[in-house]
Chain A
Amino acid sequence: MITVLLIIHALLAVALLGAVTHQAVSVWLPARKPVGSFVGRFRSVSGASYVNAIIVLYLCQSVLGGVLIYPEFRVSVRPVLEQLGLWAPLGIFDLKEHFTVIGMATLPAYWYFWRQPLAEQHAHTRAALTALLAFIVWWNFLVGHILNNIRGFGS
């Protein structure tokens, strides 16, 4: 069952990573004119259209990873990593759990400042909140991947 949940967790993570990366690039590196290239189209997406999907995916990931999978990690995986002396992976995983909560704290503001019509005076706040969430999602994705490589999928 945990393996199935881990796979769902990974698939949702990919969706969240794609959405928040699209939004972050559209905010920080917007296309100034219509471009036909892959990168140009990537930069010219409408960032606002990703907001609800990002919030829903973030909350689903927090519940799935934090409530359904994390207790199993504490019982079956963490003690083994401690016995093996893998302190750095444990440290980056603890940072992952704290960063996740910090990201959740910003969600009401993130939703509010991305509401349509977009208020020009909050453009910097929107960009900063998006960058912060993108950093957290990327960190969580990579750390989850590393931990799973060390001891995951029924090992």
Chain B
Amino acid sequence: MTVPRSFSVFAIVFAVAYAVVYVIAVWKNYALFTYHPATNEFALGIEKGKDGVAAMYWYGWIATSTIAASVAGLVACYLPQRLTQGLWSGWSWVAPLCAIPVFCYLLKGYFLR
């Protein structure tokens, strides 16, 4: 299968943007939509839980990050090649790796009670 050269740019930028946007989305609760597991309902944006069951924002955070990272990756594909040819492939793992300790910090409240 032939893959365009620009796919490497897309893949690297996608990984970096996804990790960064997902961390911000979780931290600031930028969920595109809310899911209520108790009633099996979706709602646009952020809503509080229903029927005594907490709302789920995880799908909304994933949607926010997927859209933002896809747009960032596609935009990067159309940048002049002189700007992207030096893009280090290692960013595709460095940025996601850095997200891991950030999540440990964000969730430290669970372990320090």
Q: Which positions in A face B, CB cutoff 8 Å?
A: 66, 70-72, 74-75, 78-79, 85, 87-88, 90-92, 94-95, 97-99, 101-106, 108-113, 115, 122, 124-125, 128-129, 132
**Are B111 and A101 in contact, with the CB atoms below 8 A?**
no
Cβ of B56 within 8 Å of any chain A Cβ, yes or no, is: yes
A-B contacts besides A101-B22, A101-B61, A105-B15, 14 pairs, CB < 8 Å? A79-B53, A88-B110, A94-B110, A97-B58, A98-B103, A105-B22, A108-B15, A113-B89, A115-B3, A125-B89, A125-B92, A128-B93, A128-B97, A129-B93
Chain B neighbourhood of A66, CB < 8 A: 58
Q: Which of A71, A79, A102 lies in contact with B100, CB distance below 8 A?
A: A102
Interface string of B89-113 (1 = CB under 8 A from A): 1101100110110011001011101
| Distance, CA A40 to CA B109, complexed state (A) | 44
| Distance, CA A106 to CA B100, complexed state (A) | 13
Chain A neighbourhood of B12, CB < 8 A: 109
**Are A106 and B93 in contact, with the CB atoms below 8 A?**
yes
Chain B neighbourhood of A87, CB < 8 A: 110-111, 113
